[in-house]
Every structure is written in C-alpha cells, then in structure tokens.
Structure 1
Amino acid sequence: MESAAQPDTAKPAAGGMMRLFKVPNFMLLFGGQTISTFGDALYMVALPWLILTTGGSAQELGIVLSAYGIPRAVCMLAGGWLSDRLRPRRFMLIADTVRLLLMGVLAVLAFGGHPLLWQLCAIAVPLGALGGAFTPASMSMVPDILDRDDLQAGNGLMMASMQGANLIGSSIAGVIVSGLTSAVALAIDAVTFLFSAGSLALMRGTKHATPDGSQIEASPEASQDHPQASAQEVGMQISFWGYLGTSRLIQIALFMFIVSSLVTGGLIEVALPALVQGPMQGNASGFGFILGGWGAGALIGSILAGMVGKYKRKGLIILLGGMIIAAMFALLPVGGVLGAVACMLIGGIASSGFAVLFFTAVQMNIPSHLMGRIMGLLMFSSQGLYPVSTVLAGVLANHFGPAILFPFAGLVLAVVMLFGMTQKVLREL
C-alpha cells in the first residue's frame, strides 16, 4: 500500500536548492556523481574511437557496445535488490571501486596499442553490469540523505548535474581524444571513479544533517535507513511482490514507462538520424545540434523542476509535461533542422521536469525497505527495452520512412498521458 502523503506547503524555490549544499552528505554525493558522469561521457566517446582507430570494424564496435548495454539493462533489477540488501551507499562504493579497477585495466590495454576483441568484451560486460546495478542504488541514495521537504530539489540538482556533465563531457571528450589519445580519456575516466568512490567513503554515519545544523540520529548500522520511513511502514515490512500487487501507482508507472520506452528509444537513436540525413537533407553537425537541443532543454528542465514549490498536487503538472513531449515529437519533422532543435529543446525541458517531479512523488510513496528494488524495476522499464525499441524503429523506418514515426510516437504518448489523467492516484500526486 502507498504511504500517506503529507501535506506540502510552498517554499522559496531557489533558496531551497542552494541550502542543500549545506548538507555534507548531499554535497559529497553531488560532487562525486557529477565527476563520475563526466567520466562516463569520456568513455562513450573514447571507446568507439579506440576500436575504430586500432583496426576494429563497425561490427566489432557493435559487439562491444552490446556486451556493455545488455548486461547494463538486465542488471538494473539485480542492482535494486543489492541496494536494499547492502544499503545504497555501501553498494555504490563497491561498484565504483570495481569499476575503477576495470577502467584502469582498459586504459592500460589502450596505451598498449591494440586491445583484442575478447579483452574489450571481458571488460565491457562487468562494466555494463555494474553500471546498470549502480543506477537504482543512486536513485535510492537521495531519499537516504535528504528529508521529504528537500527531496524534489535534491532530485532536480542531481539530474541537472548529470545533464550538464554529459554536455560538457561529450564536448571535452572529443578534444581529448583528437588532441591526445583514447587511452588518455579512458585513464581520466578511471580517475573519476576514484573521486566518486572517495566521496561515498567520506559520508558520515548519521542519516543526514539538515541545513539548519540539526541531525536525525541513527546508529552506524542504520545509517542508510530512509529518513522518510514511518515506524508503521517499517513495522509492516510488506513484501516486494505484495507491494507490487497492491500499489496502483507503481502499476500505472510501469505501464507508462514501458510504452514510452518502446516508442521513444529507437525514435531518437534510429529514426532521428535517418530523418536528418534523408528528408531533412541535413548533415552530422545538424544532427549534433538537434541532440544538443535536447541536452540543453533537459538541463534547464531539471533546474526548473527542482525550483517548483512544494505544492500538494503535482500529478496534473507531470501529465501536462508528458503531453508537451508528445506534441514536440509529433511536430519535429515539420520545421527542418532549426524547427527540430526548437522541438527538442522544449521536449527536453518537459522531459526532465516530468522525471524529477514523477520520481520524487514515487520515492515519497515507496516503503523504505523496497526503495532499491522498486527503483530498479522502474529504471528497467524505462531503459531496459531500449534494444527492442531500436530494432522496432529500424524496421518501421525502413518500411514507412522515418518522418511518419514522429507523429505516431506523439499520438501514442498523448494517449498514454490521457490514460494517466483517468487515474485518480496519479492525478492527485
């Protein structure tokens, strides 16, 4: 059953975000994960360039990326379970330590010149698995160190930092790889895991310190317990399957995420470049500008969502954001490259705002002892079907052309949001 939502009152938004940097554990998490995300952006540029410039083929690149991507998707579910068993901070620390070692080995192989395909796959599989398992743990970490009143602002800041680090990291990665080598970029990525692990290790044993200087007490063993959990909620200890079978909110969220994932994953990765190269008669720089529009919008949307006041109901705002995303996808093929950039910018703002508000509302309703598993399930439903979506988009774009897929995707998303509006539990979040 969902825990009863406490009445929210409006608070000064921007000040509420800045005050979070007075919370030592949040400051450590924010800094460590921002640096780690920057490193991830280096990896995503350096690895393909390493393979393609050391005698590897596009087919071998696809094999290595699959060796990374498939375990990453599957292990989101396992990561949620491990997060609940070990507590998020402990599991994240273990995952970052192992990834530091793996990335260090990959950098050494890259400095050696020509890593073999089996060597790359042997490293990519555990890297992907740990990356996927890390995701639900990191989503569970913010509720562990912030109270309910600061959770939305904290989620907004964390998502904004990731979007900003990705934007900057991708740009700098190209400079590092072209000016130096892929091996240098991979070595820097290894160092970012050291910073992330160090920030997690430095977190103190209390639940969290509030910005006014007070602390919520906790024993060292219970230091990672969720601060928003009530005694009644902990006492009930509802099972994962029992909660999943009775929580209408989670059931609706899973349905909406699965449909949205199937529709949008391949749309961006397959149909969009085909649209730019074909009907739009654009080039690679135009495609890059369009993707940059989404990234910039996502950064803006994360900050704005974190600044939204603590109002009692946010469900309709969330659903309105989904309708805006649907409209932007539907209109994207109409205005050429510049029109597509504008649509992606607006869609990115709505998408990040949707994600921050929705995940905050869900986190505030999940029993604390199930936080990792539920987050893992939601993450898998939103990202794990990506391979299916790309295959589906490729087949449909080949048969019907890429342009028609965008209004179709917009229509499907709009129907999903209209369905959400019929659900009282979602409207009244």
Structure 2
Amino acid sequence: METHIHSEEKGTIVDSSAQVPAVDKAEGSAQADPMKVSTAKAAKGGMLRPFKQRNFNLLFSGQTVSIIGDALYMVALPWLVLTTGGNAQELGIILAAYGIPRAASILAGGWLADRLRPRKVMLIADGVRLLLMAILAALALGGHPTLWQLCAIAVPLGAFGGAFLPASMSILPDILSNEDLQAGNGVMSASVQGANLIGSAVAGAVVAIFTAGVALAIDAATFLVSALSLALMRPIQRAAAEAGQAEADQPRPTIVTQGEQVSLWRFLASSRLIQLTLLLFGLISLVSGGQIEVALPALIHGTWHSSASSYGFILAAWGAGALGGSILIGMLGNLQRKGLLTLLAGFVVSVMIALLPVWGVPGAIACMFVGGIANSVVTILFFTAVQLAIPRHLMGRVMGLLMFCNMGLYPLSVALAGVLTNQFGPALLFPFGGLLLALAFLLGLSQKAMREL
C-alpha cells in the first residue's frame, strides 16, 4: 500500500516506504567509500540518533499522525460512497478525479521543493488539504454528498497530495546529517508501516461505530497536527552544511541542461533493468489501485455483506505482513541474488491476490498478511538493487520517473476497476490481476539483467 504511501499514497501495492531509503550511492568503489563510512558511523550510533534532532522529532510525530489519518480516509471514502447510494463505477470516477491531478503534480512538486524548500511545500499542501478534508467531512456529516461535490474536492486534494510527495521524500537531508540520514529513513519507513497497521484497524472501527463523516473529520485533524509540526520546526539549514561538509556546500541544480537530458535518455535506452522496472511498476500500479480501493470494498460490502471494520482489518493484515517482512529482510542482512529472490516473492504476491476472494473475510486476511510479507521482500530488495544500478548523477531523476510511473496509471486503474466491477462483479478482478502480475514477474525471470541482480 502506498502510503502517499503517501505514501502516503493510498491503494498501491508497492509501498511508498520503499522509496524512502537513503540513496546517495556513488558509481564506482572509489566514490562509494564515503557512503560506506557514513553508513558505518550511522550503524555505530544506532537508529535512535535522529531523535536527538528537534526538527526530526517534530517531523516524525506529525507524519506518523498524518499517515494514520490517511488510513481513515482510505476506508471512509469508499464506505461513504457505497452507503449513500453510490456504486463501484462512481467510486472509480471519484478516485480517478483524485489520482489524475495527483500524478500530474508530482513532477511540479519536486520542482517547487527545490525552489521553495521541502518544508514550505509540505506546509502549504497540508494547510490546503486540511481545509478540503474539513469541507468533505462537513458534507458527509450533513447528509448525502453528490458525485460532483466529491469530485470537486477530490481534484485539488489529489493535486496538493501529489505536490506533497516529492517534498516529503526530500526533507530529511535538510534536517539530518549524512551520517544520520540512513537511520532517519529507516525510522520513517518503520513509522509508515506501523501507522498504516494501526490506522487501518482503527479506521474500520471508527466508520463502523460512528460514521464515515467522523472518520473524515479525524483525518482533517491529522492534517492540522502535521501542519503544526512543520510550522514549529526551526529554520531549516542542511545539517551537513552546518557541520562544514563540502558536499552540502554545492548548489542544488534546478535546471537540466540539454547534455544532461541526452545522458538521462541514453541511460534509459541502454538499461534493460530500468526498462523492465518501469514495465513492472506500471503493471503493478494498473492492477493494485483498482483492486484495493474499488474491487475490495465492493467485494466486502456487496458480495460478503460485511462491515467497514472487515475492510479495515483486511488492510491491517497487509500492513502487519509488510512490517514483518521488513523486519525479516533486516535480520537477514545483505542477501545475494536479490533479483531472483525479488521475482520469486513477486509470484507469491500474485498468488495471494488471485486467491483473495476465495475464502471470505478470514481468507482475505490471511492472503493479505502473506502478500504483505512477500511485498516487503519485493520492494526492499528490488529498490536496493535498482538504486545500486543507477549512476549517482542520474539518481534523483530516474527515481522520480519510477515514482511517477508507479502512480501514473492509478487513475486508469481505479476507473477501469469501477467499470469492470459494475459489469462483472468484484471477485473476477482478483484472479485476473494476479495473472497479469504473474506474467510480468515471469517476464522479469526470463531476463538475465533481472535474475543476476
């Protein structure tokens, strides 16, 4: 699940937390030595070192609360639509109205983060989303919001959510030194998994006991907490620069020259690994968004006649599995044959998705738990291998392109899932989606560049 995400972003099988790890890997052993030194120092200091920084404590607490709010939104919105006379197709339209501007604003958000600094972009985005979510909560509490009202809120909500994403992924280097950056990313990744796990379970209970409008009002309050935590930060200067590190004194490029563009496209054209990665990310995005946010709630509500709490617990099972998988990979250390292990884990994810509707709510919980474990293996090992394969001077642009690809098909996914669910029922989408993912991972298995990662 992405968590925006943002990962925040909602409803994607590839975790946004996997996009967070520190990626200052240099091309060649001579260039990589400084990173190894920094990593060694960070390991020596432990993962609690970032908490010595006041700004990090504020960021950690604010974003953890905000992620819990995102989980409330993810459960409350489908239940609001489906219990007030709407159908799966209308839900797909609303989610597409959210997803299209979100994807379109990601690149602009990265540019704004360079121009205005990440903290300011995050603060503005949180302030606007607080207002929008409060309006949505008021509409939900006041009666039956219409389709056009929900879409009118979803469009700017998605746009500011997309702008928030790259800023949130680039703020840590501003508040932590290079030595603490990897530890800080690890803590934030664990926060995403834990908050999603707690939030999904709480969300189902809140919607079931109270109403979807109450859950949305709580989500609005979490945006306020996040905005306050950002506003309370001291003026940010890159911690490495304060320590006098020469690397931090270099100006951050904001304009790509024609030569750099040629270099980027030449790399993309010549790298079979990146081409396959883009294809895999696209297929995962196409399959997962509609399944989790359209077909799954329709299956639970319409076919199984179960409650919102069941939806919350099913999502929480994915979060629990993902958290367990992350811990497992961390305990195993640096694994060999990352590509092969990633592809095999991908097949496990595909099978779990295909089997999800077979045994009702208990079976769905079991499938999501196992799928969450396997998905952590896929995301952590795959992103690590890909990051190591990208030249340092292209790292940001290539990773940004991967992120955009991962989210770009989300609007099509939810819109298509809405139409298919309305025509054929939700259960059919899961074996079909699992088959598509299995074929994608089979394609990867046939490629030497993937197997030998």
TM-score tier, shorter chain, comes to 0.7 to 0.9
The amino acid that maps onto 1:75 is: S
Q: C-alpha displacement at 1:290, in angstroms?
A: 5.5
Shift of the 197–293 alpha-carbon distance from structure 1 to 2, 3 Å rule, reads: same
Which position in structure 2 is the counterpart of 1:47? Answer: 77
The amino acid that maps onto 2:264 is: L
The amino acid that maps onto 1:77 is: L
Q: SS of the residue aligned with 1:17?
A: coil
Q: Distance in 1 between matches of 2:328 and 2:291?
A: 26
Q: Distance in 1 between matches of 2:181 and 2:339?
A: 16
Question: What are the equivalent positions in structure 2 for 1:231-242 lying under 5 Å apart?
Answer: 231=250, 241-242=261-262
Shift of the 139–252 alpha-carbon distance from structure 1 to 2, 3 Å rule, reads: farther
Q: C-alpha displacement at 1:381, in angstroms?
A: 0.8
Answer yes or no: is 1:324 the counterpart of 2:345. Answer: yes
Which position in structure 1 is the counterpart of 2:3? Answer: none
Q: C-alpha displacement at 1:135, in angstroms?
A: 1.7
Which position in structure 2 is the counterpart of 1:195? Answer: 225
Instruction: Please provide the CA RMSD for this pair.
Output: 4.5
Question: What are the equivalent positions in structure 2 for 1:345-384 lying under 5 Å apart?
Answer: 345-356=369-380, 358-359=382-383, 371=396, 374-384=398-408
Aligned mate of 1:123, from 146, 153, 160: 153
**355-364 vs 22-31, which moves further:** 355-364
Which position in structure 1 is the counterpart of 2:441? Answer: 413
Q: C-alpha displacement at 1:392, in angstroms?
A: 7.9
Q: Distance in 1 between matches of 2:363 and 2:220?
A: 39
Q: C-alpha displacement at 1:230, in angstroms?
A: 8.3
Residue deviations 1:230-265, cap 9 Å, x none? 859969965663453144475554344224434555
Contact kept in structure 2, 1:160 and 1:300, CA below 8 Å: no
Aligned mate of 1:297, from 321, 324, 335: 321
Q: Distance in 1 between matches of 2:102 and 2:263?
A: 25
Contact kept in structure 2, 1:155 and 1:306, CA below 8 Å: no
Contact kept in structure 1, 2:346 and 2:438, CA below 8 Å: yes
Which position in structure 1 is the counterpart of 2:282? Answer: 258
Q: C-alpha displacement at 1:303, in angstroms?
A: 4.3
Which position in structure 2 is the counterpart of 1:244? Answer: 264
The amino acid that maps onto 1:85 is: R
Residue deviations 1:301-351, cap 9 Å, x none? 344556776x6xx78436523421223424665796477755543442342
The amino acid that maps onto 1:81 is: W
Which position in structure 2 is the counterpart of 1:422? Answer: 449
Residue deviations 1:174-224, cap 9 Å, x none? 332333333332222112111112222214422137xxxx95359xxxxxx
Q: C-alpha displacement at 1:362, in angstroms?
A: 6.3
Contact kept in structure 1, 2:346 and 2:374, CA below 8 Å: yes
Q: SS of the residue aligned with 2:46?
A: helix
Aligned mate of 1:102, from 129, 132, 135: 132
Question: What are the equivalent positions in structure 2 for 1:49-68 lying under 5 Å apart?
Answer: 49-54=79-84, 56=86, 59-68=89-98
Q: Distance in 1 between matches of 2:147 and 2:295?
A: 29
Q: Distance in 2 between matches of 1:327 and 1:303?
A: 18
Residue deviations 1:75-123, cap 9 Å, x none? 2233233223323222111111111122222233334334444332221
Which position in structure 2 is the counterpart of 1:222? Answer: none
Q: Distance in 1 between matches of 2:431 and 2:254?
A: 54
Answer yes or no: is 1:386 the counterpart of 2:419. Answer: no
Shift of the 112–377 alpha-carbon distance from structure 1 to 2, 3 Å rule, reads: same
Shift of the 74–27 alpha-carbon distance from structure 1 to 2, 3 Å rule, reads: same
**122-131 vs 99-108, which moves further:** 99-108
Contact kept in structure 1, 2:346 and 2:378, CA below 8 Å: no
Contact kept in structure 1, 2:103 and 2:162, CA below 8 Å: yes
Aligned mate of 1:168, from 177, 198, 201: 198
The amino acid that maps onto 1:382 is: N
Q: Distance in 1 between matches of 2:44 and 2:350?
A: 30
Shift of the 119–187 alpha-carbon distance from structure 1 to 2, 3 Å rule, reads: same
Shift of the 325–155 alpha-carbon distance from structure 1 to 2, 3 Å rule, reads: farther
TM-score by length of 2: 0.71
Answer yes or no: is 1:216 the counterpart of 2:246. Answer: no
Q: C-alpha displacement at 1:38, in angstroms?
A: 1.0
Q: SS of the residue aligned with 2:221?
A: helix
Q: Distance in 2 between matches of 1:241 and 1:299?
A: 38
Where do 5+ consecutive residues of structure 2 fail to align? 1-24
Residue deviations 1:33-65, cap 9 Å, x none? 111111112222333344445555555444333
The amino acid that maps onto 1:206 is: Q
Q: Distance in 1 between matches of 2:114 and 2:165?
A: 13
Shift of the 141–317 alpha-carbon distance from structure 1 to 2, 3 Å rule, reads: farther
